[in-house]
Chain A
Amino acid sequence: MKNIKYGLALMLLGGTYACNELDIPPINVVQDKDAFTDAGMQAYMAALYSRMPIEDFKYSAQEGTEGFDTWNNIATPALNTGENANRNNGGFVNPARGYWKSGYQVIRNANYLIRELPKYVPSLTQPKVDKWIAEARFVRAFTYFALVKRYGGVPITQDVQSLDGSTLESLQIPRSSEQQVFDFILADLDFVIAAMPEASEQSGRVNKNIAAAFKSRVALTAGSIARYANPFVKDGVMLCGIPKEKANEYFKAAFQAAKSVEGKYSLYMKKWSANDKISTADNYADLFLDAASPETIFAKGYSYPEAVHSFDAVYAPPHMTSTYGDRFNPTLDYVELFDGLPKNAKGQLKTTDDKGNYIVYDYVEQLFENCEPRLRGTVLLPGQAIKGVRTDLRRGTLIETVDPSVPIPKFIPEDMTSGYNSNAFYNSNVKQSGTWNNQTPIVLSNGQSINPTGLDGPTSANNATITGFHGRKWLMPNLAPAATALHRSNQSWIEMRYAEVLLNRAEAALELHQNGVTEVDGVALLNDAFENINQIRHRAGAVLLKTAAELSSAPPIAPGAGVGGYVLAPTRGLQLVRIERRKELAFENKLWWDMLRWRTADAEVNARIWRKCNPFLFAKGAVTESSDYVRGKYIFDCRFEERSSRFTIATKNYYEAIPGAELIANPKLVQNEQY
């Protein structure tokens, strides 16, 4: 006991002695002189790239480090845009996760490289230093873009701030205007485009063309903000919004940047076929998985088992995964945008005849047989084969005494939210199940048994799918259902692909054409937009635009007055461009930002209930062909999603709130409006 006491006393005394200054660099921390070598820079860049705010398979509206880097990607902004729906989220999902601190850490690292690398020219050589500085500036530009699209103007720093010898106040930087931030990003990108070669040093790293493609995205966003956003000015600084007269300037920059990568990339056409719609659909699905795709511009790679994500486990249909599943439910609103489907005057899927009775289909795939191939490449339709099995979709089964030849009136009138249980015919003639994996089969008179509900839903308890569809885009088609587990997926995330660049180019061209600029660098803009939209449609297997005049300045189709009427736009031409963008870029974490920059989100998603398509099987004459396919006659009921969940995007969501901790740490920051 005594010994311990003395020991402790000695230790306390020890603390009071002063030491000589320790001026040897610690040998357990990598020093600049060791990192700034050829091999060291590879490692440094790998770390820097991995922290770039790429909204990929690991991006979430509810989890992760300020929204990034989590396996749990169930909630994403795509739930607010009408692309996706799932059973977990029954209302607006706010994706604001306070992405700020991690962003400025990346910016600091990039600034450090930009400041320190020139000191190592003798050992590294000038060309390498120039290239790596350009790379650091790309990472910085990418990160500032993630900040500016969330907050508007943010503080700009090109220093590596340090507490040594400076007062706290000198480190507190006020917000720049939104325009200054965009101009700063564009200046960085122009530097990168001028300094970088055409080929990347390693796959996944930036080059001249990647920077140009990204510039088209940034400038298009700046142009849209200038044209559509309401400015927020505080103390003479336009923190949010850009002066309207700048819009054309940015659209022009977007157009030129997009045009500059023409010929460097091409749309993926390996399996495309003029007369085989299935092959064209497979071609579209493959473009997201083929590592040698000429369409991919900038991708983030994954590798099993050391760097993985969980997309397939969470997003596969329920009977095609060992866990989770069923969170990938494209809405009927989205499906109705596509060509090759029967539609009514409102532009909605038509599954009833003129008397309001259901049209009877001979088998479940029949309704979608002639659909636009891109739909089949994006969405899993009833009966579609994937992963060695088939999607099994039906809401319920009409009992054997119901004859398919006797007309059945629509169960619930259009635009009603009431449940099927308010229909007496339904209650006595339809068998359904509340779960997909524990059903009580119906036994037919011939002894055959049939599941009342499909193995992939939709169930009566709003499980398995809540829209009647599952998604296909990004899913690995050869990962067997039993092997589909968390932390098992390794497909690359394609952050930028050539289709987006073409759409950026068409949108910028049309925005210019409809606002007084008909030609840029000798290119007639209207015709250029027309040709680029048709390039996208041609690859998709969609109906082509007949003439450039279709991209008109006439008023757009109003909501409920035709196909895509709910996609809001100032003119019919821009409405067509925006519809094309949605069809092409859905489920790629792009459309949320599009609806924000167009400033249409609050009007379009306002007490909105997503739509659903419920297939029903006739037990009479049905034959079970495999565990997940029943051949028989079907009817389809289109209705509001059965939870009647309403989604509203408020105007405050056009910008996120600056995190409270940052406001306290830096009193010079001004909070955004409505917070």
Chain B
Amino acid sequence: MKSLIYILFLPLMLYACKIDDVDAPDSTFEGRLVDAGGAGIQLEQGASSARLKMEELSWSNTPLPLFLNLKQDGSFINNKLFPGNYKVTPVEGPFYPVAEKAVDIKGATKQDFTVIPYLNVDWVAEPVINADKKLSVSFKFTSNAAPEGLTKPNPLDYQLFISTNQYVGNNNWDNTAVGAVVPVTVDKEGQNITISSSVAMKYSTTYYVRVGVRVNDTYKKYNYTTIKTVQVP
């Protein structure tokens, strides 16, 4: 019986393989998307607002792109990359389109990308819980001038995002706690705007709150405020 098994395995052994001796991917690429002042761009956690499109040019001129997700503060890191020459572009985000950068990734490589967000969205006051237990926030937005050759898109609408965890954003929020998106026009720019939740907030809960405003461009992604927490006693 044993010899029968040997005979059956014989054809397998006749085949030759090449040993895969390519080093494991061990290079690290990290950095941030920042505005002109060096502050990180407020985004959603993951792939839903902006992404980094990475094309490795070491082996092909037309590679299938890799996409790297971003964190909420605009930072990114991938520590399992093959070393090589990459073409990296921040894409699909709430900022004016930017040119790609050629990056040689080897060992620990750091690279920041400066982008111009369409809008800056800022808190006017701390979020408050009203007497009817509804959550109310005030914010304002200002737009940034378009770089040469591009046109400034019009503001589209804004939304209040409420979540019970810190990853609040358009990909992680309680969509029954607020109404539909509120349309907004360019004349509201710079004015204080107030938006409230449509339901009473639950007792003894910490809420993470953020306001997003977006413009009518190709991607329609939100520019956000920073995240604030609200403690309902």
Residues 104-156 (chain B) with a chain A CB within 8 angstroms: 156
1/0 per residue B152-194: CB within 8 Å of A?
A: 0000110100000000000000011111110000000000000
Q: Complex: how many Å from CA A416 to CA B4?
A: 75
Nearest A residue to B217, CB-CB: A651
Q: Which of A444-452, A484-492, A639-647 lies on the face that meets chain B?
A: A639-647
Q: Would you call B179 and A646 a contact (CB within 8 A)?
A: no
Give the secondary structure class of A's interface: loop
Q: Is B16 an interface residue, CB under 8 A from the partner?
A: no
Q: Would you call A419 and B176 a contact (CB within 8 A)?
A: yes
Q: Is A674 an interface residue, CB under 8 A from the partner?
A: yes
Q: Which of A44-52, A107-115, A265-273, A601-609 lies on the face that meets chain B?
A: A601-609
Nearest A residue to B1, CB-CB: A1
Residues of chain B lying within 8 A (CB to CB) of residue A664: 64
State how many angstroms separate the Cβ of A338 from the closest Cβ of chain B: 23
Number of A-B contacts (CB under 8 A): 58
State how many angstroms separate the Cβ of A432 from the closest Cβ of chain B: 17
Residues 389-434 (chain A) with a chain B CB within 8 angstroms: 415-419, 422
1/0 per residue A650-667: CB within 8 Å of B?
A: 110000000010011001
State how many angstroms separate the Cβ of B164 from the closest Cβ of chain A: 16
A417 in contact with B176 given A1-B1, A1-B4, A607-B181 (CB within 8 Å): yes
Q: Is B199 an interface residue, CB under 8 A from the partner?
A: yes
Residues of chain A lying within 8 A (CB to CB) of residue B62: 667, 670
Q: Complex: how many Å from CA A38 to CA B175?
A: 62
Residues of chain A lying within 8 A (CB to CB) of residue B60: 667
Q: Is A355 an interface residue, CB under 8 A from the partner?
A: no
Q: Would you call B180 and A640 a contact (CB within 8 A)?
A: yes
Q: How many residues of A contact B (CB 8 A)?
A: 28
Nearest B residue to A673, CB-CB: B218
Give the secondary structure class of B's interface: loop
Residues of chain B lying within 8 A (CB to CB) of residue A609: 180
Q: Would you call A415 and B180 a contact (CB within 8 A)?
A: yes
Nearest A residue to B91, CB-CB: A674
Q: Complex: how many Å from CA A607 to CA B175?
A: 11
Nearest B residue to A667, CB-CB: B62
1/0 per residue A197-212: CB within 8 Å of B?
A: 0000000000000000
Residues of chain B lying within 8 A (CB to CB) of residue A645: 175
Residues of chain B lying within 8 A (CB to CB) of residue A660: 64
State how many angstroms separate the Cβ of A86 from the closest Cβ of chain B: 18
1/0 per residue A615-656: CB within 8 Å of B?
A: 000000000000000000000000010001110101100000
Q: Would you call B220 and A417 a contact (CB within 8 A)?
A: no
A674 in contact with B92 given A418-B198, A422-B200, A660-B64 (CB within 8 Å): yes
Q: Is A8 an interface residue, CB under 8 A from the partner?
A: yes
Q: Is A168 an interface residue, CB under 8 A from the partner?
A: no
State how many angstroms separate the Cβ of A80 from the closest Cβ of chain B: 15
Most buried by A among B156, B216, B218: B218
Q: Would you call A5 and B3 a contact (CB within 8 A)?
A: yes
Q: Complex: how many Å from CA A645 to CA B157?
A: 18
Residues of chain B lying within 8 A (CB to CB) of residue A603: 216
Residues of chain B lying within 8 A (CB to CB) of residue A274: none
State how many angstroms separate the Cβ of A602 from the closest Cβ of chain B: 7
Most buried by B among A417, A602, A670: A417
State how many angstroms separate the Cβ of A382 from the closest Cβ of chain B: 26
Given contacts A418-B177, A609-B180, 12 further A-B contacts (CB under 8 A): A417-B198, A418-B198, A419-B176, A422-B199, A607-B180, A607-B181, A640-B180, A650-B219, A664-B64, A667-B60, A667-B62, A670-B62
Please list the 10 inter-chain residue pairs (A to B) with the smallest Cβ-Cβ separation, ordered nearest first: A644-B175, A418-B199, A418-B198, A416-B198, A607-B181, A651-B218, A644-B176, A422-B199, A416-B179, A417-B176
Question: Can you identify 5 A-B contacts, CB atoms within 8 angstroms?
Answer: A415-B180, A417-B180, A419-B176, A606-B156, A644-B176
